[in-house]
Structure 1
Amino acid sequence: MNKSRPKLARALLAAAATTVLAGAAQAGEVEVLHYWTSGGEAKAAAALKATLQAKGHTWRDFAVAGGGGDSAMTVLKSRVVSGNAPAAAQIKGPSLQEWAAEGVLASIDDVAKAEKWDSLLPRPISDVMKYKGSYIAAPLNVHRVNWLYANPEVFRKAGAKVPGNWDEFFAAAEALKKAGVIPVAHGGQNWQDFTVFESVALGLGGVDFYRKALVQLDPAALNGATMEKVLTTFRRVKAYTDKNAPGRDWNLATGMVVKGEAGMQIMGDWAKGEFVAAGKQPGKDFVCVAAPGSASAFTFNVDSLAMFKVKGEDKVKAQKDLAAAVMSPQFQETFNLNKGSIPVRMNMDLSKFDDCAKASAKDFAASAQAGTLVPSIAHGMAVPAAVEGAIKDVISQFWNNERMTAKDAMTRLVSAAKAS
């Protein structure tokens, strides 16, 4: 027995050393390029960082400011071209397929199968996350884009009613204007212009028109009477924004509603994260309702992290742990509570979520069932990036140039839809 103890001790020490080395080999760096830089978004990103660090990995943050993500995509392209891609990047919608076609994304099918993603995700969303049947991205959340946020105290003082349709919207805007507050908080950037535009299109034209015009890019829908009405209504909204809107970031516009400087804002549910970060309570300090006329439909925006091919077992392991963490119930809850969105993972416990989120989740499920779930073109979910950019440009030109008629804009939209 005594003679065997040194051997046993040496064996135990060797096993311990092997375990430590194995752990060190598994712990790696994961660099994430994203554009979550506003208050609520930054908290959400911090939750993901904490989750990865808890697994022993090093998080390397690469945040690029700009809510629409255009600046981030410019940086990402230069990184990939130079052969220095991050482990993961915030990419979504058809752009995922475009990146995958370039051969630079990694398959995370082994993670998806182990975690049973196919049974946890609605088919329309899992399809977006795949390329040729393999997962190449992990979805973080579901945003509803067609929301209207209102400051109830400002509305009370103005004697205005939170609108349910576009006639009521303009009645409320007029009352707010007379009360001396900015009726509509807005940031003059093309994606913000289009966020308002697509909500007008959905609220006035309905789901079938929206799908034909803004998803299928049907020339007859883009150049028809309904589109003319949509454009005319869209331009009316601008009269109720302020002269300092051009170039303003979306979260600064949300801040105007938070502070009572403006009455309302049409923006996706990430705006709710700004209210919450400011200590405001839904139903009391702010109201969230479907954008006018669109209560029975749901324009969705799904954030996702595309996984790029990386070298080194440690980095691959860190990347796969990142993918698994993104879909974990704990992270889905923490991230979405901060972001203002709802979990993309189905059958989640929403007891910690507020009434706005619960309503969003209910409407999401109902819209999916009814076939009134439509992708947001403003937020990169509906059409290829080149077409999206061309159409956004037309809408912002129309918004900013009073001399451009609705018919001029319609002709340009038909041409823009052919961009490649």
Structure 2
Amino acid sequence: MKTGMKALLAGAVLIAGVGPALAEDKPKAEVVTSWTSGGEAAALGVIKAEFEKRGGVWKDSSIAGFGAADAAFQNRLVAGDPPAAKQGVMGVANTDFVKQGLLSPVEQTAEAGKWADVLPKSILDLISYDGKVYLAPTGAHGESWVFYSKDVFAKAGVTEEPKNWDEFFAALDKLKAAGVTPVAWGGQSWQEAKVFNMILLSQVGVDGFLKIYVDKDQSDASVAGLAKTLEIYGKLRGYVDEGAAGRNWNDATAMLISGKAGVQFMGDWAKGEFLAAGKEPGRDYGCMLVPGSDGMVYVADAFSFPKTADKASEAGQKLLAEVAMDPAVQVAFSLKKGSIPMRSDVDKSKLDICAQKGIELMTAGKIAPDQALVLTPQQAGALNDFVNEYWSDASADPAESAKSFYEIFD
């Protein structure tokens, strides 16, 4: 009896001693994101669940607002206490981090997963630096959407989607007459800049959009396109409510969901809020490109991976990159977030009608990059300031302001 008891005790000690070591050896990842709204959190949960299913230990460090999340991330880099992964926008914003040697490449994971075979070349270019892959893409978003409440439209007598800006403003007048807020406006500079870009694309087309943002073209045609854009943009001031200043985008979406407003200019991530509220595209709400536009502004998210000496975190980074690019995860993530999968080989049949429209535009090449993908953070910030200042000054002249637009590149 005593011998048996000693054996049991010895076994318990052995298990107790080995258990913690095994837990420490598991891949782990502290992940900083700005995904805190209902749809965003649900989408992040898809990645987290699969990460944990594969044996990873997840620590969530989400911070509301991408500006706040970026600032917190940079502070931790400077302090030498980086997380294992950071969600952010692809493009030039990551260049400085790579040049300073602060990010680890995931080249081996990308090669093993044959990412080059399933990602559009434009996306592969955006996640690569000096020929190495540094980012793991999660999904792309179309930003040229106008979402509208089908119930509110019906009650106001708006029977079909406006095909041009004259019809659009006529519809807004009907909404105002019906006693609802015509436009659920997110009064933050980054949201205002996205509305500006939507309108700009409708006025100058994809080629003209690229000329302005990439080539910094100041031809008469470009300046005229900017002036017309600002004219339309400024006209929207008369269709927003007094509480718009500082409003979060998801709070604006909630105005459509509750029937308090008619339309919202927003990226397709807003669909996640509709989904969380039990609303379906085509039944409860519609999605249309801004009037007169035959293309779509897009932005794309990805995980970056700060350098770390912690082996468990290194393993977690590799696992997270694999999970983020898993075909099934990409679809499930997109369904929750309202985005478009980055891989070309996923099952598209489960995507909603809005996502199907977005995929058609991407496939046809009718897409233009969000400024965050092609401008430096400083230039993108200057654009936000320019648009916000114009919006705040009802006396601003569109033609004169169009000429000063190019100061954002200085």
- Global fold match (TM > 0.5): yes
Q: Work out whether residues 144 and 301 of structure 1, in 8 Å CA contact, stay in contact via their aligned partners in 2.
A: yes
- In the alignment, which residue of structure 1 is the partner of 2:121? 123
- In the TM superposition, residue 101 of structure 1 has moved relative to its aligned partner by 1.4
Mapped to 2, the partners of 1:84 and 1:219 lie a distance apart of 44
Q: Work out whether residues 227 and 402 of structure 2, in 8 Å CA contact, stay in contact via their aligned partners in 1.
A: yes
- In the alignment, which residue of structure 2 is the partner of 1:53? 52
Q: CA RMSD in A?
A: 1.9
Give the counterpart letter for 1:333 in structure 2: V
Give the counterpart letter for 2:367 in structure 1: L
207-216 or 256-265, which deviates more: 207-216
- In the alignment, which residue of structure 2 is the partner of 1:213? 212
SS of corresponding position for 1:351: helix
- In the alignment, which residue of structure 2 is the partner of 1:202? 201
SS of corresponding position for 1:374: strand
SS of corresponding position for 2:255: helix
Mapped to 1, the partners of 2:98 and 2:248 lie a distance apart of 30
- In the alignment, which residue of structure 2 is the partner of 1:3? none
- In the alignment, which residue of structure 2 is the partner of 1:317? 315
Give the counterpart letter for 2:171 in structure 1: A
In structure 1, runs of 5+ residues without a counterpart are 1-15
- In the alignment, which residue of structure 2 is the partner of 1:7? none
Q: Work out whether residues 27 and 319 of structure 2, in 8 Å CA contact, stay in contact via their aligned partners in 1.
A: no
Distance 1:350 1:101, change over 3 A: same
Structure 2 counterparts to residues 297-312 of structure 1, below 5 A: 297-312=295-310
TM-score, L = length of structure 1: 0.90
Mapped to 1, the partners of 2:352 and 2:402 lie a distance apart of 40
Distance 1:52 1:239, change over 3 A: same
1:175-234 per-residue CA deviation (whole Å, 9 max, x = no partner) reads 111111111111110011011111111112222221112333223369722211111111
| 1:90 corresponds to which of 83, 87, 90 | 87
- In the alignment, which residue of structure 2 is the partner of 1:4? none
- In the alignment, which residue of structure 2 is the partner of 1:417? 409
- In the alignment, which residue of structure 1 is the partner of 2:75? 78
Distance 1:268 1:336, change over 3 A: same
SS of corresponding position for 2:219: helix
- 1:183 equivalent to 2:177? Answer no
Give the counterpart letter for 1:375 in structure 2: P
Distance 1:20 1:119, change over 3 A: farther
Q: Work out whether residues 85 and 306 of structure 2, in 8 Å CA contact, stay in contact via their aligned partners in 1.
A: yes
Mapped to 2, the partners of 1:33 and 1:22 lie a distance apart of 26
| 2:369 corresponds to which of 368, 375, 385 | 375
Mapped to 2, the partners of 1:404 and 1:162 lie a distance apart of 30
- In the alignment, which residue of structure 2 is the partner of 1:133? 131
Structure 2 counterparts to residues 18-417 of structure 1, below 5 A: 24=23, 26-66=25-65, 69-92=66-89, 93-160=91-158, 161-220=160-219, 224-294=223-293, 296-366=294-364, 368=365, 372-377=366-371, 380-417=372-409
SS of corresponding position for 1:48: helix
Identical-residue share of aligned pairs (%): 37
- In the TM superposition, residue 337 of structure 1 has moved relative to its aligned partner by 0.6
Mapped to 2, the partners of 1:229 and 1:20 lie a distance apart of 67
Distance 1:312 1:222, change over 3 A: farther
- In the alignment, which residue of structure 2 is the partner of 1:12? none
Mapped to 1, the partners of 2:26 and 2:311 lie a distance apart of 9
The count of corresponding residues between Structure 1 and Structure 2 is 393
Mapped to 2, the partners of 1:180 and 1:215 lie a distance apart of 42
Q: Work out whether residues 162 and 168 of structure 2, in 8 Å CA contact, stay in contact via their aligned partners in 1.
A: yes
Mapped to 1, the partners of 2:259 and 2:191 lie a distance apart of 20
Q: Work out whether residues 204 and 222 of structure 2, in 8 Å CA contact, stay in contact via their aligned partners in 1.
A: no
